[in-house]
Amino acid sequence: MRRGAWVVVVAVALVAASCGSSSSGAKAYAGSDPSFYSVPSSLPGKHHGDLIRYQRLADVPGGHAYRVMYRSTSTQGAPIAVTGLVAVPTTKGKDRVVLSWAHGTTGIADICAPSKTPSSAFNPLMQKFLSRGWDVVATDYEGLGTPGRHPYIAGVSEGRSTLDIIRAVHQIPGAEAGERALVWGHSQGGHAAMFAAQLAPTWTPEVKVLGTVAGAPPSQLPLIAAALKGGNFQGYLAMAAAGLNAAYPEAKLEDLLTPKGLSLLPVVDKACTDGVFEAFNGISYDEFVKADPPSIPEWKNALEENDPGHTKLTMPLLIIHGLADEQIPPIASELMFKQLCKLGQVAERRTYPGMHHTEVIVPSFAAMLTWMDDRVAGKPAVNGCPST
């Protein structure tokens, strides 16, 4: 999802404007925003999900907002710092449900980290969660705002970041977070949500994920790559090449990209999505890619390992997709849904005729929220998979 659309729709709207940091708690942070993202040479804590620091932001309708930094684990297995946003309801309540929102594509440069650009207006969609007394958390993902290149479309990386911030919110004063959680993401966030759901039983076993919602999740990655070639969203392929290489160094960029592609690639570390599109959408696919990724063993492995839908989840799944999606072909989520059904997954796939990639969020929101409410209430989920 392009950066501008994402800002309008979701988690950047968690906060109204940057202001002073919280004065309570040993981990409260009083530095300026740029220094907030400076990672300590020795990370505090011992476990992934441990809170490193937090900063109070302007209150939003129905909640207190924070910028957070917390421990996670990189794709290479090293302890790292990840940043994100948190909103805590102003209403009192114990054992609150935590909604972990996984954001769509903003870019992979540090300046594209959503927590760096809090919106000046709180989005009514997120307010719906706060009004239910839920804590809302939104990770930036590994390498967005913090050292290292963001491993874009690397599922384990996204999933760990999405789950570890659930642990981190428990350490925010007043969060009163419980063990129950929901995961929701759209576009790249749909991909992240799928992997968070897959990892949750072993990565954060104390967290009971009640349900997962994946909107327009990238799956069938070679199919999506073919659909993006030469179009208005070809720049996604450059970010995917750079991001997967960050997660899989053995998948060498020089084996995949042309000299021209390699010369243009540094833009992904400087510009957000629109800037990357500007650099790559104006050239032909063959000008920057010299080999079919599945034909290179290391790249084939990277694509296969990051294709969701091959593991039965322990919680119900709702897939949402607009049938006029111009970025993620609807057939991709249909194939993923069928794969999961064969594994015995409890899942629904709801499609919306005429809806494009981003615009499907608003018309699907009310029904999605009802689906989430039902999971919190303990109602059994409808299984949309064929009975045969």
CATH number at residue 249: 1.10.260
Is residue 385, in this structure, part of any structural domain at all?
A: no
Question: Percent of the chain scored above 90 by pLDDT?
Answer: 83
pLDDT-derived band at 35 (thresholds 50, 70, 90) equals confident
- Could you say which of 249, 270, 305 is where a domain stops? 305
Specify whether 247 is located in the same domain as 120: no
Is residue 384, in this structure, part of any structural domain at all?
A: no
Q: How far apart are CA 106 and CA 84, in angstroms?
A: 14
Q: pLDDT value at position 29? A: 56
Specify whether 264 is located in the same domain as 185: no
Contact predicate 98/182, CB 8 Å? yes
Surface-to-core class of residue 124, CB atoms within 10 Å of its CB (0-12 exposed, 13-18 middle, 19+ buried) = exposed
Mean pLDDT across the chain: 90
The b-or-e profile of 290-299 (16+ CB within 10 A means b, else e) is eeebeebebb
Q: How far apart are CA 20 and CA 32, in angstroms?
A: 9
Specify whether 319 is located in the same domain as 193: yes
Is residue 155, in this structure, part of any structural domain at all?
A: yes
Domain encompassing residue 19:
3-219+307-376
User: In the beta sheet, which residues pair with residue 319?
Assistant: 214, 349
Specify whether 110 is located in the same domain as 187: yes
Is residue 191, in this structure, part of any structural domain at all?
A: yes
- H or E element at residue 237: helix 235-247
Specify whether 132 is located in the same domain as 148: yes
Instruction: Give Cα separations from 370 to 85, 164, 194, 364 (angstroms).
Output: 24, 26, 20, 10
pLDDT in tens, 293-331: 999 999 999 999 999 999 999 999 999 999 999 999 999
What is the domain count for the chain? Answer: 2
DSSP alpha helices (H): ranges in 143-213? 155-169, 188-203
Question: Please, which residues have CB within 8 angstroms of residue 171's CB and are 6 or more apart in sequence?
Answer: 27, 50, 51
Question: Per-residue pLDDT averaged across 78-91, rounded?
Answer: 94
13-15-17-20 Cα dihedral, nearest 10 degrees? -160
Q: How far apart are CA 171 and CA 191, in angstroms?
A: 27
Contact predicate 62/126, CB 8 Å? no
Cα radius of gyration rounded to whole Å, the chain: 20
Q: How far apart are CA 369 and CA 213, in angstroms?
A: 10
Specify whether 320 is located in the same domain as 201: yes
DSSP alpha helices (H): ranges in 37-114? none
Q: pLDDT value at position 28? A: 60
Q: How far apart are CA 175 and CA 171, in angstroms?
A: 8
Is residue 387, in this structure, part of any structural domain at all?
A: no
Contact predicate 162/191, CB 8 Å? no
Domain CATH for 194: 3.40.50.1820
- What are the DSSP calls for 269-286, one per residue? GT--HHHHHHHHTTS-HH
What is the number of other CB atoms lying within 10 angstroms of the CB of residue 353? 7
Question: How are strands ordered across the β-sheet holding 317-322?
Answer: 51-56, 63-73, 79-89, 135-139, 96-102, 177-186, 208-215, 317-322, 347-352
Specify whether 147 is located in the same domain as 184: yes
Above 90 in pLDDT, residue 3? no
Specify whether 75 is located in the same domain as 158: yes
Specify whether 181 is located in the same domain as 136: yes
pLDDT in tens, 172-189: 988 999 999 999 999 999
φ and ψ of 72, to 5 deg: -145, -165
125-131-136-138 Cα dihedral, nearest 10 degrees? 20
Specify whether 333 is located in the same domain as 194: yes
Contact predicate 321/331, CB 8 Å? no
- Could you say which of 264, 283, 305 is where a domain stops? 305
Q: Which amino acid is at 345?
A: Q
Specify whether 53 is located in the same domain as 38: yes
Specify whether 33 is located in the same domain as 127: yes
Is residue 381, in this structure, part of any structural domain at all?
A: no
Question: Percent of the chain scored above 70 by pLDDT?
Answer: 89
Is residue 125, in this structure, part of any structural domain at all?
A: yes
- Could you say which of 305, 330, 354 is where a domain stops? 305
Contact predicate 183/196, CB 8 Å? yes
pLDDT in tens, 247-265: 999 999 999 999 999 999 9
Surface-to-core class of residue 263, CB atoms within 10 Å of its CB (0-12 exposed, 13-18 middle, 19+ buried) = exposed
Is residue 339, in this structure, part of any structural domain at all?
A: yes
